Amino acid sequence: MAKVKKQRRSFIVVFFAIVLSACFAISLFSIVKDINDVKKEIAAVDEVKAEQEAENEALRDKINDGDKDEYVEEIARDKLGYVMPGERVYQDISVND
């Protein structure tokens, strides 16, 4: 009888050890997947950052090279829709965007 209880207790301990190990393994795989997802996200953000830094450098060069007036005029025309005095702007309304 004592031998049966000992075997039963041993089986329960082994069973719980296996279940616990399985839980840890599943958690580990989940954490590794999350880490890989975050690494991909970081790589994407780094790429966007590099593009933005390149654009910023190009804008700094435009401003520092003495093209400040042309750059301001370009922004005023393209982004704000300004025109020079006496200038006529024609828009093609036949094109559907």
pLDDT of residue 25: 95
Number of domains in the chain: 1
83 within domain boundaries: no
DSSP H/E element including 50: helix 2-64
66 within domain boundaries: yes
What is the band of 49 on the pLDDT scale with cuts at 50, 70, 90?
A: very high
The DSSP letter of residue 95 is S
What rounded mean pLDDT belongs to the chain?
Answer: 86
88 within domain boundaries: no
23 within domain boundaries: yes
- Owning domain of residue 68: 2-78
27 within domain boundaries: yes
pLDDT in tens, 75-90: 888 888 888 888 887 8
Is the separation of the CB atoms in 9 and 17 below 8 Å?
no
10 within domain boundaries: yes
pLDDT of residue 10: 83
Check: pTM over 0.85? Answer yes or no.
Answer: no
36 within domain boundaries: yes
92 within domain boundaries: no
pLDDT at 45 over 90: yes
The DSSP letter of residue 65 is T
pLDDT of residue 93: 82
